[in-house]
Amino acid sequence: MLAKFKNTILEIIFPIRCVGCRAEGEWFCGNCAAKIVANEKQFCPICWSENSGGRRCENCSSALDGLRVAASYRENPELARAITTLKYKFSKNLAQNLGSVLANSISQKNYSTERVVVPVPLHKKRRRWRGFNQSELLAQSVAAKLNLSLADALVRTKNTAQQAKLSRIERIENLADAFEIAPDFDAKNKTILLVDDVASTATTLIECAKILKKNGAREVWGLVLARG
Ligand SMILES: [Zn+2]
Ligand SMILES: [Zn+2]
């Protein structure tokens, strides 16, 4: 209550402005979202060698079949600000505009299997603390824009330390057994689009992919806004 009051006061003194063009009223406006330069190059999520669509290359093995990174910070400095804002401000509108950036980076060819959009989950304690999961908001937006079904297919069972502060080896150890399949989700023969805001290494996505594959998913792709 007090925090809400404080926010309202702050918004009167410092109105919400777009992190791109400074226009008042939105955190990241539709015009700026539409101007994001999409990545032409994609990379294997394991060895990061360049390839056309982001599919994992033949030399690498992983439960994760591929990764689409929508855009780069270098070409779109405002994207970093928009992603940071989404972490701390619950804003459906911001999530929707960033969801368009994600949806635009996916090819619309015909798929033979059912595709399901799945957010990378937060542990329930952290979700409660923050009040929302930004990946969930993004996944909702992507599913709506691409007309795909959405499922909370994964549960985070371990309240892991923040990945960003850890080395690669520590990240892998930190995430071991961190996820489980949701009891009511049937992954069999489905193609899963795992949505997260950013990926620095693909460690989190790979851990999620392992669980989904173990439960019968046919393909698992990651979909993120940028490499963090
Ligand atoms: Zn703008
Ligand atoms: Zn590779």
If you measure from the C-alpha of residue 108 to the centroid of ligand 1, how many angstroms do you get, rounded to a whole number?
A: 27
- Predicted pLDDT at 175: 79
For the chain, the structural domain boundaries read 39-72+95-227
Low-confidence ranges of the chain (pLDDT < 50): none
- Predicted pLDDT at 159: 82
- Predicted pLDDT at 111: 61
Which numbered ligand comes closest to the C-alpha of 61? 2
If you measure from the C-alpha of residue 85 to the centroid of ligand 1, how many angstroms do you get, rounded to a whole number?
A: 13
If you measure from the C-alpha of residue 68 to the centroid of ligand 2, how many angstroms do you get, rounded to a whole number?
A: 14
Distances 108 to 28, 40, 78, 82 between C-alpha atoms, Å? 25, 16, 26, 25
H runs (alpha helix) in the chain:
2-13, 30-34, 77-88, 92-104, 124-130, 134-146, 168-175, 203-214
Which numbered ligand comes closest to the C-alpha of 60? 2
If you measure from the C-alpha of residue 158 to the centroid of ligand 2, how many angstroms do you get, rounded to a whole number?
A: 29
- Predicted pLDDT at 29: 96
- Predicted pLDDT at 4: 65
If you measure from the C-alpha of residue 101 to the centroid of ligand 1, how many angstroms do you get, rounded to a whole number?
A: 14
- Contact indicator for 145, 103 with CB cutoff of 8 Å: yes
CATH code for the structural domain at 39-72+95-227: 3.40.50
If you measure from the C-alpha of residue 37 to the centroid of ligand 1, how many angstroms do you get, rounded to a whole number?
A: 14
